[in-house]
Structure 1
Amino acid sequence: MTASHSAPETTAKQQWAGGLTIFGAVMLMIAGVLDIFRGIMAIAHDDVFVTTRNYVFQFDLTGWGWVHLILGAVAVIVSLGLFQASLWARIAGVTIAALIIIANFLSLPYYPVWSVVMIAISGFVIWALCVVQREASPDMFGSPRGGI
C-alpha cells in the first residue's frame, strides 16, 4: 500500500523539478535578451546611461556594452540547452547568471534600477537551477532520467 502512494509523490516531484528547470530556462533567456539590448544601447548610444564620476569601478561604457552583449548572447545559448534538461546547461546557466550578477553590480551606477532588476532575475535563475535534485529532474517529456 505504501508503494502506491510513492508513485504519485515521485511524479509530482518530477513535474516540480521539470517546471523549475523550464522556469530557469525562460528567465535566463529573458535576462539574456535584455542584456543583449542593454549591450547594444551602450555600444550605439552612450548618452542613454548616466555617467558617474567618483565610482570605484570606472570603465568605458562601450566596454560595458560589449560585456553585456557577450553575456547576453551566451545566456540565450545556454537557456536553449536548459530546455533539453542537460546537466552541462544547468552548470553553465548558474555560471552565466552569476557573471550577469557581477557585471550588473559593477555597472550599477550607470543604470541603477535596471541593474537591480537584472540582479534579481539572475538570482531567481540560480535558485531555480540549484534547487532541483539530479535524480528528480525529468527530461522535457516528463519521464524520469535513466529510464523509459
Structure 2
Amino acid sequence: MTATHTPRAHSAKYAWAGGLTVFAAVMLTIAGLLDVFRGIMAIAEDDVFVATPDYVFEFDLTGWGWVHLALGVVAVIISLGLYQAALWARIAGVAVAALVIIANFLSLPYYPVWSVIMIAISGFVIWALCVARRDDVGL
C-alpha cells in the first residue's frame, strides 16, 4: 500500500474537499447577501448610487436593483444546498457565481472597488467548487 492510498490520506482528501465546499458555501452566502442589500438599495433608489454618463452598458437603477436582488436570493438558496454538499448546488453555484461576475463587470465603472471585490469573491467560489472532484466530496 502506498502512502497516497492510506486511510489517513483518504480522510485528509475528504476533509480538504469538504472544506473547500464549505468555503464556497460561506463565500456564496456572503456574496448573495451583499447582492440582496445592493439590490434593495437600488430598487429604493437610494442616493448611494452614482450615475456615470456615456457608459456603453447603461441600465435603469431599478432594473439593475432587481437583477442584483434576484441573483442574491438565488445565491443564498444555492449556498444552502452547498452546506448539504448537493451536486445540483455545486453546478448551480458555478453558474450563479459566473452571473454575479458578469453583473459586477457591468457595474465596474460605477463602483470599481466594490465590483472588483465581488468579482474576486465569485472567482474564489468558482475555484472552490471546481477544484474538488465529485468523488472527493462524497457525493
Band the TM-score falls in, shorter-chain normalisation? over 0.9
Q: What secondary structure, in the 3-state scheme, does the structure 2 residue paired with 1:47 have? A: coil
Q: TM-score, normalised by structure 2?
A: 0.94
| Distance in 1 separating the partners of 2:13 and 2:4 | 15
Q: 1:33: which partner in 2? A: 33
Kindly indicate whether residue 56 of structure 2 is the aligned counterpart of residue 56 of structure 1. Answer: yes
Moved more, 3-12 or 86-95: 3-12
Deviations 1:4-63 (Å, cap 9, x if unpaired)? Answer: 962111110000000000000000000000000000111113421121111110111111
Moved more, 4-13 or 102-111: 4-13
| Distance in 1 separating the partners of 2:82 and 2:91 | 10
Q: Is the 8 A contact 2:32 2:75 kept in 1?
A: yes
Moved more, 61-70 or 102-111: 102-111
Structure 1 pair 97/120, CA: closer, same or farther in 2 (3 Å)? same
Q: 2:14: which partner in 1? A: 14
Q: Any runs of at least 4 consecutive aligned residues in structure 1 with deviations exceeding 3 A, and if so which?
A: 1-5
Question: How far does residue 123 in structure 1 lie from its aligned partner after superposition?
Answer: 0.4
Q: TM-score, normalised by structure 1?
A: 0.89
Q: 2:75: which partner in 1? A: 75
Moved more, 38-47 or 64-73: 38-47
Structure 1 pair 102/15, CA: closer, same or farther in 2 (3 Å)? same
Q: 1:141: which partner in 2? A: none
- The percent of aligned pairs where both chains have the same amino acid is 75
The letter for the 1-side match of 2:35 is D
Q: Is the 8 A contact 2:93 2:129 kept in 1?
A: yes
| Distance in 2 separating the partners of 1:46 and 1:126 | 31
Question: How far does residue 3 in structure 1 lie from its aligned partner after superposition?
Answer: 7.6
Q: List runs of 5+ in structure 2 lacking aligned partners.
A: none
| Distance in 2 separating the partners of 1:54 and 1:4 | 58
Question: How far does residue 2 in structure 1 lie from its aligned partner after superposition?
Answer: 3.7
| Distance in 2 separating the partners of 1:93 and 1:6 | 32
The letter for the 1-side match of 2:127 is W
Kindly indicate whether residue 101 of structure 2 is the aligned counterpart of residue 101 of structure 1. Answer: yes
Q: List runs of 5+ in structure 1 lacking aligned partners.
A: 139-144
| Distance in 1 separating the partners of 2:53 and 2:127 | 35
Tell me the C-alpha RMSD between the 2 structures: 1.5
- Whose radius of gyration is greater, 1 or 2? 1
